[in-house]
Amino acid sequence: MAHPTRMVHPSEMALILGEEEFEDYLDKYLAVEEENWINATSSLRSGCTLRVNGDLGQPQPVYISRRTNNYLAASGNSGQIRLSAGEEVIVSCPNNQAILHPNIVSTVHTATARCVSNNLFSGAGWLNGNRAFGQLTCARHPFYQAQQTSTRCFNNGVVIRVGFTVNNVFYPLYHSCYNANRMEVLYVWYNQNANNAVHQTGVSRPTGGFFPGVNINNVYTQVSQKAAIARLVGNALADKYVTNTQFLARGHLAAKSDYVFASGQRATFFFINAAPQWQPFNAGNWNNLEQNLRARIGRAGYNTVIYTGTFGVTQLRNANGNFVNIYLDNNRVPVPQYFYKVVYDQSRRRGTAFISINNPHYTLAEARNLQFCTDRCRNNNAFSWINWRPDRVDLGYSFCCTIPDFRRVIGHIPNLDVSNGLLS
């Protein structure tokens, strides 16, 4: 499908588009950007080459590399999966679904496909001849799993792992640290490398559950959130705080676009990967950080683990002018004061904490008073790639810290060796 060559940057649409409209716009914008990126980095080679966008079928199976025993990955930041002749990929349609292909010869749920050349693969005993890899599909999108583990995280939180089971092996996509009593996601963590630079676009968005005892989709409707805020500050102020352009969206911690394949992207739509986020914040500085950080990791070749989380409860003034904590479900589902991303490259012993304040109704002075460390990004050319507008409170007042400074206030994450300083 042809895309326009230039589109307005998504941050310019932060105060214009709603949650779903913004996600659709962002998807189209990234499709254009990534097409340009691929054209600049592609090269011819032998073996098999599959484009992340264009050579993979839908509904998409789960792909596991035999060579790495992990999810199939693009080669560097190329947006292409490159395999040597004879290299094998496990193709799986979980939940007892059959793999579909026009040339299938036996019913299989999980099978091994072998690279022949270009986009052609063979499948001994289940696929007739050498066939296009992109025609391998499932009857419906594979359903990801969320499994509660026995591991504990900050403040006795529960670690939940999200991913897929293939051949009786669980392959995690991300882990979530979750406080069950408050229905609060503290943080998630996952790996991000150069091969995440290009992701599939146009992937459909499912709905996610996991919070027992509450209809979490209903909690996020504008009617419900306005009613919840009205109980805390009064009806008149609730009408002022929640409008058609300023409302609380489901802010993803691990972003959909942080995952290359449709199966991984759809797995980000669990509510154990989300927290209430004001929509212009979601589409403003936070989105700039998500997209530009991923591109920076791709260009620099960093090998990182990212901790993305929330801290504190944001406040709004009530009719008496007093600040009150904001929750969406009777002291549960808190609206966070801060969202953060801690990016750490262990091999380089470098890392940086990026923080944004999730409240468009603060004054600039109030937001600045909530900054808890020296901002290492401001007026620092090494971080010009972020391209955020840190003083725009409506888009999320933003700053960054050294990891030791961050941990003095927010102790969620483990102690990391950052003896070589900031990761820029």
Q: How far apart are CA 255 and CA 262, in angstroms?
A: 13
Q: Which residues are catalytic?
A: 252
For 164-214, write each residue's pLDDT tens digit: 999 999 999 999 999 888 888 899 999 999 888 888 888 877 765 544 445
Q: Do 376 and 354 share a structural domain?
A: yes
Q: Is residue 422 part of a domain?
A: no
For 269-323, write each residue's pLDDT tens digit: 888 898 999 999 999 999 999 999 999 999 999 999 999 999 999 999 999 999 9
Q: Where is the binding site for Mg(2+), in residues?
A: 282
Tokens representing 54?
């264009």
Q: Are 51 and 80 in contact (CB under 8 A)?
A: yes
Q: Do 208 and 75 share a structural domain?
A: no
Strand, coil or helix: what is 350?
Answer: strand
The answer on pLDDT for 46 being more than 90 is no
Q: Is residue 2 part of a domain?
A: no
Q: Is residue 116 part of a domain?
A: yes
Contact residues for 31 (Cβ-Cβ < 8 A; gap 6+):
3, 53, 201, 202
Q: Do 244 and 106 share a structural domain?
A: no
Domain range for 56 = 48-92+98-138
Q: Do 260 and 130 share a structural domain?
A: no
Q: Is residue 229 part of a domain?
A: yes
The pTM of the full predicted model, rounded to 2 decimals, is 0.89
Q: Do 339 and 394 share a structural domain?
A: yes
Q: Do 265 and 190 share a structural domain?
A: yes
Q: Is residue 420 part of a domain?
A: no
Torsions phi, psi for 153 (to 5 deg): -125, -155
Q: Is residue 73 part of a domain?
A: yes
Angle at 414 between CA 412 and CA 415, to 5 degrees: 120
The number of distinct structural domains making up the chain is 3
Q: Do 389 and 324 share a structural domain?
A: yes
Q: Are 79 and 71 in contact (CB under 8 A)?
A: no
Q: Do 307 and 396 share a structural domain?
A: yes
Q: Is residue 416 part of a domain?
A: no
Q: Are 201 and 181 in contact (CB under 8 A)?
A: no
- Tell me the CATH number at 243: 3.40.570
Q: Do 223 and 132 share a structural domain?
A: no
Domain finish residue from 108, 138, 168: 138
Q: Do 253 and 204 share a structural domain?
A: yes
Q: How far apart are CA 135 and CA 143, in angstroms?
A: 20
Strand, coil or helix: what is 195?
Answer: helix
pLDDT at 220: 86
Q: Do 84 and 36 share a structural domain?
A: no
Q: Do 334 and 310 share a structural domain?
A: yes
